Structure 1
Amino acid sequence: PLWHLVCSDARGLTPLDEARPSQATLSRLLNCLGTDANIDTVHEGLLRLAIWRWRSLPWIQRPRHVTLDIDGLPIEVFGHQSGSAYHGHVGSRIYSPLIASLAETGDLVGGLLREGNAGPAEEADTWIPHLVQRLAEGLNLAIDQVLVRLDAGFTDNATLEAMDAREIDYLGRLKSNSVLQTQAEPYLKRPRGRRPETSREWCHDLDYQAGSWTSPRRVVLVVQENPDDLLLHSFFLVTNLSKLDYPAEKVLALYRKRGKAEAHMGELKSALNVHLSSTDRGASTVQQVMARNQVSLLLSLYAYELLHGLRCLLERQTRQGWSLMRVREQVLKVAATLTVHARRVTVHLGAAADKWWPTLLRGLP
């Protein structure tokens, strides 16, 4: 009734006497948004929301380079929804979506739902380049100003080749194998002198070509020494960043900032408790069920973006740290009443809102 009254051109309260449509159900909404064209529009809207928030920052606070973190987010399902599958590593029946986030601002800019038995990098070779291109266009950045940061499961040949072909900078962890270990063996030696009481590490650049790669790629070997361990630890990073601009130590420092993306996705799961539970509903195909759940996933990312935008605004206004849970419990969960008088709809917020809402309203413009 409120929206019907506000959006009508009729005078006074006469719109309230008109017939209104029946209450829409979530399933009808998901069926409507689950068509191919509408899913693309919903995904574009999520990206535009992040771009709009980025452009609202003062010019001096906008980073000149952005880092796009790509990671998987297993979502457990209860039942036998079409497309879900048991995953041995997770230990439950899941869907396996991909989530993309901006490290510098904390925005979630994309989500791709995949079946539960999908490989870690499945569909990443087409989805990531398209997302990078659209993000660069929206932020008015060149392609080489967007860095893609990946986990070990996404550094397969197809994904790396797709980014190489479009000249996209990337950085990711590489799974170890016997050939890599043999190549790294000469560097797995402790420096001369007494062992330090604290941990230390050092890096080396290697050129490595896997059997499925068409050409060698730059690999950074990271060697770690802990005081209480007899053996040295090592892992590998693969990148196409130049050695001149990004020495090995700088590459390692960039990769270690990936923890921000995991923190953002942890907040997404804890604060919003994302569930994908579309059932088969009669004659629904697997594609229709997956489409409805894709929309549900994107709507959850919309909710995160709105909460995150309010959180950043409150942090700027109050100079305090805010979590998504705190924003939801202390700012959004407040009582309100609506009154209609003299052709005006007035929202009366409860006394619990007096603490933060005046500050929030001052910063909204």
Structure 2
Amino acid sequence: MGETLTTWSPSCNGSVNVQLSGDATTSDAGTLLLREALDRSGVIEAMEDHLVDPRDPLRVRHSLASQIRTVVLQRAMGWYDLSDTGTLQKDPLWHLAGSDARGLTPLGQARPSQATLSRLLGCLGMDDNIDTLHEGLLRLAIWRLRSLHGGQRAKHLTLDIDGLPVEVFGHQGGSAFNGYAGARIYSPLIASIAETGDMLGGLLREGNVGPAEDADTWIPHLVQRMSEGLNLDVAQIRVRLDAGFTDGETLRAMDARDIAYLGRLKSNSVLQAKAEPYLTRPPGRPPETPREWCHDLEYQAESWASPRRVVLVVQENPDDLLFHAFFLVTNLNKLDYPPETVLALYRKRGKAEAHMGELKSALNVHLSSTDRGASTVQDVMARNQVNLLLSLCAYQVLHGLRCLIEGQTQQGWSLIRLREQLLKVAATITVHARQITLQLGAAADRWWPSALKALPRLGTLS
């Protein structure tokens, strides 16, 4: 039994009395907007058709679809831990938002418990189910791109590949101390679309793997699925890489499938020797502002089967005695992409890093599955792969709503601002004549009218 609070008055104002009323209220009214976005995408239903459910049908109380919906919506609303589901047990809106049922039925149903959602991670950790979750995330990104742009196809899209170190506390199977990160981590790969901010894929890897581990198979698969889902030619998709991913295997895999790429190369003595003729200061007085030159070179690393195009970038700063140089490798043709254009395209990588930062700050991505009972390292990794994909799905639902409200208000929105100003809105819930009514608080007056006007733009992906 919980304690009863009769009346409390804050010291700042004795005229204020605080009481626990027990009324049916919520602070998360915006969850229904996110549920609408999920329903329009059709992702949950599509995944449910392909998920393998090993449970005894006679003992099932909560479908896999309702549980996945519950986890995705909770994380999108800032309830990151599975234990938070206990805090929401008495919130009637969460009964409505996660349930498969309609009418008044959800209000009389119990929500999935923390233990139930924990078992969900193990169920989804089966290989076939993980593949289905990967497809579900891809479908969310494809739906958002096709739905909110009136079906128009982009001329080019840039796929950014980067690592997202996730620190762990304890000894989760597969995690390891990473000297570069200075912590015990997992080292997942994340793929995002540079021009739009959509998260397209996430691949969990152990903490001590090399930067490019598994990239040679994962990247071509993503590009192929992007091409199919968005009706684009593979030639219209460019892959942008950091220095850790420009190894021989990854580049060879993309060359074999005619995938366009550009990425930074780690410097070495051979590259420095090739750059030496271009590191001489031009005649005349040193400038008062920085200068920059780009040069096309040809270079073959030991792990490469043939030479590749390399762009040398030389930079001069007024206060520096020596020039600074770095190298980019690409298979983009010189006619359409001269060296200066390649450099300008690479420098837009900052957008991808901003997307990664927002993913970490707004979704608080953490992977905490441990070696419970007879769990193997593979079991733990599988559960954490599920955790990662569900968090990326939550990002995508938030991002889709964010793009919708940006188009309506002509303002920029961060995911945190979206959650705090549009979604975290108080409401009173009443039931009368088999109708459920949500009466929103005054905080909804500013942005909810814009959101409701924009909702019809959320088309359904067939």
Give TM class, smaller chain: over 0.9
Name the structure 2 match of 1:292. Answer: 383
Name the structure 2 match of 1:23. Answer: 113
Residues 59/345 of structure 1: CA separation in 2 closer, same or farther (3 Å cut): closer
Counterpart of 1:150 (choices 227, 241, 245) is 241
Q: Does residue 1:244 correspond to 2:339, yes or no?
A: no
Counterpart of 1:122 (choices 209, 213, 217) is 213
Matching residue's letter, 2:248: N
What is the CA distance between 1:60 and its match in structure 2? 8.9
Q: Normalised by the size of structure 1, how large is the TM-score?
A: 0.94
Larger relative contact order (C-alpha < 8 A, sep ≥ 6)? 2
Q: Is the 8 A contact 1:172 1:255 kept in 2?
A: yes
Q: Does residue 1:169 correspond to 2:260, yes or no?
A: yes
Q: Is the 8 A contact 1:99 1:111 kept in 2?
A: yes
Deviations 1:12-66 (CA, angstroms, capped at 9, x unpaired)? 868877x868636331111111111111111111111111111123359742100
Name the structure 1 match of 2:203. Answer: 112
What is the CA distance between 1:221 and its match in structure 2? 0.4
What is the CA distance between 1:346 and its match in structure 2? 2.2
Residues 22/297 of structure 1: CA separation in 2 closer, same or farther (3 Å cut): closer
Residues 7/281 of structure 1: CA separation in 2 closer, same or farther (3 Å cut): closer
Counterpart of 1:97 (choices 166, 169, 188) is 188
Q: Is the 8 A contact 2:104 2:436 kept in 1?
A: no
Q: Which runs of 5+ in 1 are unaligned?
A: none
Counterpart of 1:264 (choices 355, 360, 377) is 355
Counterpart of 1:343 (choices 422, 426, 434) is 434
Q: Is the 8 A contact 1:63 1:104 kept in 2?
A: no
Q: What secondary structure, in the 3-state scheme, does the structure 2 residue paired with 1:198 have? A: coil
Aligned residue pairs total: 362
Counterpart of 2:305 (choices 211, 214, 220) is 214
- Which has the larger displacement, 299-308 or 106-115? 299-308
Equivalent residues in 2 for 1:192-211, closer than 5 Å: 192-211=283-302
How far apart, CA to CA, are the structure 2 residues paired with 1:151 and 1:6?
A: 42
Residues 6/296 of structure 1: CA separation in 2 closer, same or farther (3 Å cut): closer
Q: What secondary structure, in the 3-state scheme, does the structure 1 residue paired with 2:430 have? A: strand
Q: What secondary structure, in the 3-state scheme, does the structure 2 residue paired with 1:364 have? A: helix
Equivalent residues in 2 for 1:315-354, closer than 5 Å: 315-354=406-445
Residues 52/231 of structure 1: CA separation in 2 closer, same or farther (3 Å cut): same
Counterpart of 1:185 (choices 253, 258, 276) is 276
Q: Which runs of 5+ in 2 are unaligned?
A: 1-91, 457-462
What is the CA distance between 1:138 and its match in structure 2? 0.5
Residues 231/167 of structure 1: CA separation in 2 closer, same or farther (3 Å cut): same
Q: Does residue 1:33 correspond to 2:124, yes or no?
A: yes
Residues 107/4 of structure 1: CA separation in 2 closer, same or farther (3 Å cut): closer
Residues 292/13 of structure 1: CA separation in 2 closer, same or farther (3 Å cut): closer
* % identical aligned pairs: 77
Q: Normalised by the size of structure 2, how large is the TM-score?
A: 0.75
Matching residue's letter, 2:346: Y
Name the structure 1 match of 2:399. Answer: 308
- Coordinate RMSD, CA, aligned: 2.1
How far apart, CA to CA, are the structure 2 residues paired with 1:87 and 1:229?
A: 34
